[in-house]
């Protein structure tokens, strides 16, 4: 058994768990480490052992409420790199384990490692939580995977809109929908307007891919119009009602890069 002191407990614990480990890593009630940190570490690693996260419903909802982390998590689940299940007991001891070791976070900057060679209960504990995980309710993400969003966006709406979205996501601009931040639907309508896309096209795509309903897109369009961020122009059709093209409302907005638009729009929308 060894106690390790560190100033970066989350990453250090995860890398310790991954090193010389076979099979899945199981993260039980990851409070000090955090679900978000686990996802980030998997994304940043080029050869990550698959991880099973066993966490409470409240912890998962809080950790995966932001669009970018949720959509990246969905990709990891689809790729078999991550599984998530609900843990019923909130007072369960926080553990990270593999077949070879159990890691116990004991403070903000320290954790203890117990190896199978030191204690034969390590293997038993791993088997116990493996069985509990398999019988637990699996967490189903409502957010679509980022890769499917990017691919379908280019096909259905346009490559330029996809490029704008990727530049915003690469900048790590928050998309929480809270004060000072856009939500994903607001961002997509603004990027569609920046590229003069049709309102029907972006809203149908958004509903088909699973971001939000067309009704939500419609309410968002109205809100952005009332906030002075977008405007529309009619596109005559040979048959039926004219469609609407989305436009940015001012010359100043048209000068913004996608990242600048995502950063500046919330202050105007909330003013």
pLDDT digits 0-9 by tens, 233-267 = 998 877 767 889 999 999 999 999 999 999 999 98
Pairing state between β 2-5 and 110-115: antiparallel
Instruction: Please report, for residues 17, 52, 98, 100, 254, the alpha-carbon distance to residue 167 in angstroms, rounded to integers and kept in the order given.
Output: 33, 31, 37, 41, 16
CA distance 81 to 174: 24
Q: Do the two domains 2-135 and 146-269 of this chain adopt the same fold?
A: no
Q: Kindly state the DSSP code that residue 80 receives in the 8-state scheme.
A: T
How many CB atoms lie under 10 A from the CB of residue 226? 10
Mean pLDDT across 49-59 = 88
Q: Which residue has the higher pLDDT, 104 or 204?
A: 204
Q: How many CA atoms lie within 13 A of 187 on its CB side?
A: 27
> Confidence class of residue 127 from pLDDT cuts 50, 70 and 90?
very high
Check residue 39 and give its pLDDT: 84
Contact 191, 181 (CB under 8 A): no
Q: What mean pLDDT comes out for the span 131-135? A: 93
Q: Which of 7-16, 63-72, 198-207, 233-242 has the lowest mean pLDDT?
A: 7-16
Has residue 2 got a pLDDT over 50? no
CA dist 116 → 10, 73, 119, 198 (Å): 22, 30, 5, 60
Return the pLDDT at 4. Answer: 34
Q: The tokens of 164 are what?
A: 């704008």
Regarding the domain delimited by 146-269, which CATH topology (the fold level of the hierarchy) does it fall under? Arc Repressor Mutant, subunit A (1.10.10)
Which position has the higher pLDDT, 265 or 42?
Answer: 265
Record the tokens describing residue 138, joined without a space.
Answer: 């699996």
Query: Per-residue pLDDT tens for 151-165?
Result: 999 999 999 999 999
Q: What's the CATH code, domain 2-135? A: 3.30.870.10
Sheet holding 51-55, edge to edge: 2-5, 110-115, 101-107, 95-97, 25-28, 51-55, 82-86
Which one has a higher pLDDT value, 88 or 109? Answer: 88
Phi, psi of 110, deg, nearest 5: -155, 150
Higher pLDDT, 40 or 47: 40
Tell me the whole-structure pTM to 2 decimals: 0.83
Span 179-205, average pLDDT: 95
Domain chopping of the chain, boundaries:
2-135, 146-269
Question: Apex CA 49: angle with CA 146 and CA 89, to 5°?
Answer: 85
The percentage of residues in the chain with a pLDDT greater than 90, rounded to a whole number, is 50
């Amino acid at each position: 058994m060894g106690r390790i002191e560190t100033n970066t407990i989350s990453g250090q614990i995860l890398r310790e768990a991954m090193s010389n480990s076979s099979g899945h890593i199981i993260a039980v009630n990851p409070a000090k480490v955090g679900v978000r940190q686990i996802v980030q570490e998997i994304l940043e690693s080029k050869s990550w052992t698959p991880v099973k996260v066993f966490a409470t419903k409240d912890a998962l909802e809080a950790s995966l409420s932001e669009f970018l982390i949720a959509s990246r998590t969905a990709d990891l689940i689809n790729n078999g790199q991550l599984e998530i299940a609900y843990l019923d007991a909130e007072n369960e001891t926080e553990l990270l384990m593999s077949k070879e070791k159990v890691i116990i976070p004991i403070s903000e900057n320290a954790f203890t490692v117990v190896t199978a060679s030191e204690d034969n209960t390590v293997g038993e504990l791993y088997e116990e939580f493996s069985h509990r995980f398999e019988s637990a309710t699996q967490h189903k993400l409502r957010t679509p995977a980022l890769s499917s969003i990017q691919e379908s966006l280019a096909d259905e709406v346009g490559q330029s809109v996809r490029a704008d979205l990727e530049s915003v996501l690469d900048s790590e601009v928050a998309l929480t929908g809270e004060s000072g931040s856009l939500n994903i639907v607001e961002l997509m309508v603004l990027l569609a307007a920046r590229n003069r896309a049709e309102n029907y096209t972006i809203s149908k795509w958004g509903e088909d891919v699973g971001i939000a309903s067309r009704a939500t897109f419609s309410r968002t369009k109205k809100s952005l119009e009332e906030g002075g961020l977008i405007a529309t122009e009619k596109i005559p059709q040979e048959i039926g009602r004219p469609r609407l093209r989305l436009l940015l409302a001012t010359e100043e907005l048209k000068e913004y890069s996608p990242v600048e638009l995502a950063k500046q729009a919330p202050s105007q929308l909330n003013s």
